[in-house]
Each structure stands twice: as structure tokens, then as C-alpha cells.
Amino acid sequence: MHATMLVLTLLACVVVSAILLRISRLPLPLTQIVLGAAVTIPSFGLYVDLEPHLFLLLFIPPLLFADGFRMPKREFFQMREHVLALAFGLVLFTVVAVGSLLHWMIPGLPPAAAFALAAVLSPTDAVAVSAVAGRAGIPKRLMYVLEGEALMNDASGLTAFKFAVAAAMTGAFSLADASVDFVVVAVGGLVLGGAMGWGMALFQKWLSGWTQVQAQGTVVMILLLPFAAYLAAEHLHTSGILAAVAAGMVLNLKTAADPGAETRIATTHIWRMLEYVLNGVIFVLMGMQLPDIIGDALTGSFYEGGLKDTSELLIYAFVTWAALILARLVWVWGLLHVTHFYARLRGDNSKQMPQARLLWATSLAGVRGAITLAGVLSVPMMLEDGSEFPMRSLMIFIAASVILISLIAAAVGLPLLLRGMSVGEDHEEQEEQAARIRACEAAVAAVANAARQSEARDEHDSDTATPLSAASSRLIQAYQARIQTLSIDDSSHDEERERSQADKALRLIGVRAEREEVMRLHRSDEINDVVLNALIYEIDMRESALTGAPRKH
């Protein structure tokens, strides 16, 4: 009964947070954390001990898989130097700089434990970044960099964390061995996840070639893929997180046109619901942990040493958060100057240094979240010699406090920093508008060609307009009207035309021609994944309304 009540309470908190979001100015993650803290009031008696390994398995793979699936691949590869420099270079810089500060600042904290804490604090949270930064109006290109960084730095941060914890447990550390292991873990996870995503794509294509599989069955297979990639990678001692990300990215690259309209529509709707629920449950669970972690630490320090010890704990937390922001600011500033320098060496003087406010916003957007909390809670209780792990409770307190401070600081600071900032033209809107027009033009050509072929077969009836030619004329006029008065919502259907089978057949020809043109534009990098997914979804919805069945290949 306790487990049932806990699950229902978590879901209820997610529902209530959606209502409170309409009347509250807080970002959704903070609202859900507050609700999670509220249900841990002793009179309710609802609390759950977060099991880190189970938490990582149940929540992280599907969410990172979905983020990897949606990530615009064109922009990701265009900005790969920035993404990788943040996801790997910044993590290493943070571990060294912040770890050294923690060892110097906190008496009695061993170097290995200090570096372990810095490592677990280094990953940014993809879910929190999207939820907090997205509302602040961050430029899309910067948002893609932040999301790409958050997808990749979980693996680098947790890997560094594991090495630091192992060093604390055994007292031995080899930089050469750790470097080799790090490369094997990262590359192995990427290769394995990419291979599994590619295999799933080929399997789906094979299934669609010989039998009709219900969309729901295909969606279930996709839902299982991130868990399979994560478990397989962890079993082989590589990065399960990177495997889940790679599987999502490769599956999207391979199967954008393969599964069929019904499957794509069902996948989109189910994943949206699943992501929303899992994201909400993660932050509610975090809210259920934070009051006890922070409250118990402050209460214990107050009774042991009074206000002096309590103030020291708070200073540790705020200084650690400030050090993370400063390390991020220094790294981003240096990275931009290096990029600008190499661009000028190549003769490219078009690149301009961003405004100082945007640099601060980039630093402030490094929000910590569930990965950090799950990681620090996995610190062992005992060392190999049977003694207690040094200052484990303090490490957990600092990590939990930094999560809360970073969320609040980003929620308050990002809108202020970005207020009134000009972010330039939205190239995605221009791409989408042009792609709609090109798709309509392709549909007109396909419908006209089908009508000519039909008339050639019916030359004996040339004196009388055939139903197909009349329908094609009406449909071409409709497409031409859409080209002239292109609106945002162009998925409505003319019920009168759908009554005619000839009209219906021509509509299907036009819709499929639209899809082929949109896919061609994506293959030639004229539109990115965001525009592709938006247009394919609209086209799939119109095809589904016409056929009521998945598209056959």
C-alpha cells in the first residue's frame, strides 16, 4: 500500500505542478521540488529513500534517449567543437579547479573526496537546463550548445566521479590508467549505443517490408531501446548514459522516413507524455530528498557548534556554487577567444565576440540536477579498510545545496540577463516557411503528373472531363492557395473533397510528395531536425486522416 500511495502521490504532484505553473512565476522544476518537499511533512508520512543505481536506470536512459533523438544533428555537428569542449574539457577543468578549492577550503577533506565532489557537481542537467533556460528566451543556437553539453557531460562527470571515489577507497590513482579507461568508457558507450540504434532502425525497416506491425508494438520496441542500450553498455563497463544518447541520435538519423505515419504520430504522443511524467517525477523525488539532506545537516551543525558551524556549512555551499559559475565563465570566455582567434587566422572576420551578458547567461545556465544528486548519494558509506568514508554527509549536503541554489539563481537571473537582448533572426522560421512552399510545389507537380497519366489512359473520353482531372484541378488550386496564403496551421482538411475517392487518391499523392521533398531538404541540410520533425508531423497527421492506416513502403 505504501508503494501504491507513493506512486499515486508522485503522479498527483506532477498534475498539481501543471496547474500551479499557470498561476506561479516559478519554473516547473522548482514548482515540482516544492511540492515534493511539501509531501514529506511528517503528518503525511510519505518519503522514499532514493536508490541511486535504480534511479539512474529507470529515469535517465529514456529521457536522454529522447533528448538525443530530438537534438538537431546539423547544429550538433556544426557546433561539435563547442559542445565537446564544454562536455569534456570543462568537466576536467571543473574537477581540477573546484576540487582543489574544496580541498583547501574544507579542513579534513581528502583530495580524492574533494575531486569526487567536484566531479559529481560538474555535469549540468539536460532536463533542468531545458526547463529553466527555455523560459528565459535564450537564443536557439546557444540553447542547442547547452543541451548538447548536458547530453554528453553526464558521462564524463560520472566517469571522473567513479575514478575519484575509487582513489578515495583504495588510496591509489594512476592518471595514465584513468585516461585510457575514460576514453574506452566514452567511445565504447557511443559505439555500442550507435550500433543498437542503427540495428533497431534496420529491424524496423525489415518488419515494415514483410508485414504490417501495429504502431503500438513499434513504439514499445523503441521504448525498450534506451534501457537495453544502457544495460548493455554498463555490463560491458562502458558509459550507459552515452549509449542511450547515441542510440537516440542514430535512430533519428536512420529512420525519419521509415516507420510510417501512424507509428511516428503514436511515438510522438507517447514520448511527450512519458517525458513529461518522468521529468516531473524526477524533480518531485528530488524535492522529497532535499529537506532532510539540507535540514538535517544544518540542524546537526547548529546543535554541535552553534551559528558558527551552521554559517560555515552555508558558506561552503555558496562558495562551491560560485566557484562552479566562475570556472564555467572562465572556460567559456577562453573557448570563445580561441575560436575567434582561429577564425581570424583562417581569414573569417565575420565572427563577433558575444555580449558580456550572454557570457554570464551561459555560465548561469549551468544548472545542476538529478544526475548530481543520484551520483553523490552513491558515495559508499565505508572505505575498504572498514572506516567511514571521509565527510560523506558534508559532500551530500553541498551537492544538494548547489542543486537548489543553481536552480533558483538561473530562474531569477537568466530572465534579467536576457531581458531586451536582441538575438537576431530566427533562421528556423525562415527554413520552415521555405520548406512549406517547396513541399506544396512538389505536391502540385506530383498531382499534375498523376492527372496527365490518367488522361493519357482515358484518351477515348477526352471530350468529357474525367473525375480525376476535375479533382486534380481543384486540389492544385488548393495547394496554390496555400502557397499564396501560407498559414501556420495548414493541417485542416476540406471535407467535401475527401468524399471523392479520386480526390482522396490525389491528396495522398500530394502528401507523399510533400514528405519526399521535406526529406530531400533535410538530407541536403537545407532544414534542420526541428523543422523536419514539425513538418513531418503535420504531413503524417494529414496522411493519417486520409488513410486511417500506416503508410506502406
pLDDT for the residue numbered 415? 80
pLDDT for the residue numbered 20? 87
Backbone conformation region of residue 208, classed left if phi is above 0, alpha if psi is from -120 to 50, else beta: alpha
pLDDT for the residue numbered 318? 95
Total count of residues recorded for the chain: 553
Q: What is the helix (H) or strand (E) element at residue 280, kind and residue range?
A: helix 261-345
What are the grid coordinates assigned to 512, written together? Answer: 507523399
Residue with cell 563547442: 82
∠ CA 37-39-40, nearest 5°, is: 70
Task: Answer whether 153's CB lies under 8 Å from 85's CB.
Answer: no
Please tell me the distance from the alpha carbon of residue 102 to that of residue 111, in angstroms, as a whole number: 8
**Tell me: domain 2-197+216-418, CATH 1.10.3720.10, correct?**
no
CA 185 to chain centre: 21
Could you count the other beta carbons within 10 Å of the beta carbon of residue 438? Answer: 18
- Residue ranges of the domains in the chain? 2-197+216-418, 427-547
pLDDT for the residue numbered 1? 46
pLDDT for the residue numbered 428? 66
Task: Answer whether 327's CB lies under 8 Å from 111's CB.
Answer: no
Backbone conformation region of residue 390, classed left if phi is above 0, alpha if psi is from -120 to 50, else beta: beta
Say how many CA atoms lie within 13 Å of 446 toward its Cβ.
20
Please tell me the distance from the alpha carbon of residue 479 to that of residue 474, in angstroms, as a whole number: 9
pLDDT for the residue numbered 351? 61
How would you write the pLDDT of the chain (553 residues) with one tens digit per residue?
477 788 888 889 999 988 887 787 777 888 888 898 888 876 566 777 778 888 888 888 998 888 888 887 777 887 888 888 888 899 999 999 999 999 999 988 888 899 999 999 998 886 676 666 555 567 777 788 888 888 888 878 888 888 888 888 877 767 777 778 888 888 999 999 999 999 988 887 777 666 555 666 777 888 899 999 999 999 998 889 889 989 988 887 765 545 566 677 777 778 888 888 988 898 898 888 888 888 878 887 766 666 777 888 899 999 999 999 999 999 999 888 887 777 677 766 666 666 778 888 888 888 888 888 888 888 888 887 778 888 888 999 999 999 999 988 888 888 888 776 655 555 666 777 777 778 777 877 887 787 777 666 665 555 555 666 667 777 777 777 667 655 444 444 444 444 446 666 777 888 888 888 888 888 888 888 788 888 888 888 777 767 654 343 3
